[in-house]
A and B are shown apart, each in its own frame.
Chain A
């Protein structure tokens, strides 16, 4: 039996994800996706994984979303972008995501102030055990993950480089 906090966070995650997949504007979708990831972080916290919840907020809702938002902004060069910016920041756009975030914040403050313990069916795994597993039996996988990130950097650099126009004069029509 989970407590109401789980159901509230799960409902926020599902509502925010539905809003993500029904938006037409990519920026509004990203706004809701951040809320969805924060709600999932609260769910992870409730499942006895505070370290993973922090990683979710820092890497997913922080780094990856910032990457996406900067990318979308980069594509939107042009004189209409300022006008669009004004359209995007209407209160009815940001009021609902902010409301969902406020509910999540209230939930988090409540949980922390209550010195929350997960229900008896859930076994808490502390960050120390995760670290021991990562740098013990999973050592090779950690190094392979490092190589994967390196390949990601090299691939993104190679693909993102602007080619000179003259190389493509036969391909342009």
Chain B
């Protein structure tokens, strides 16, 4: 098997991203959907680092740091939103939140 390292890394990032996408489309538990977003963000960040290793520049790794900070902020706000949703609806089913008419 003679695959170029950049190709192999991009393939891995693509597979992880698609797994997260499948999960976010299939699952109805809202915490699982948040987890899937994490998986997809992580795959995108991996693609950036692989590109950084391919070109030999630091820009991809800089982007990884930004994605990391964004993921942390996104998770904290998302968990607070889920907490509110759970207190309002007493369930974690995202279909319940479709009826948001106040």
**Contact surface of A with B, Cβ cutoff 8 Å:** 1-2, 6, 10, 13-14, 17-18, 20-21, 26, 29-30, 33, 36-37, 40, 43-44, 47-49, 51-52, 55-56, 59-60, 63-64, 67-68, 71-72, 74-75, 118-119, 121-125, 129-130, 132-134, 138, 141, 145, 148-149, 151-153, 155-160, 162, 171
Contacts and interface: CB of A to CB of B under 8 A. Distances in A.
Nearest to B24: A21
24 contacts: A1-B1, A2-B3, A6-B5, A17-B16, A21-B26, A37-B42, A47-B52, A49-B53, A60-B42, A63-B72, A64-B72, A67-B76, A71-B82, A121-B6, A124-B53, A125-B53, A130-B58, A132-B58, A141-B62, A145-B66, A155-B80, A157-B80, A160-B80, A171-B102
A43 B46 contact: yes
Given A2-B5, A47-B53, A160-B80, A36 B73 contact: no
A44 B64 CA distance: 11
Contacts of A33: 35, 38-39
B32 A26 contact: yes
B67 to A, nearest CB: 10
Q: How large is the interface on B (under 10, 10 to 19, 20 to 34, 35 or more residues)?
A: 35 or more
Contacts of A134: 62, 65
A121 B4 contact: yes
Interface of B is mostly: helix
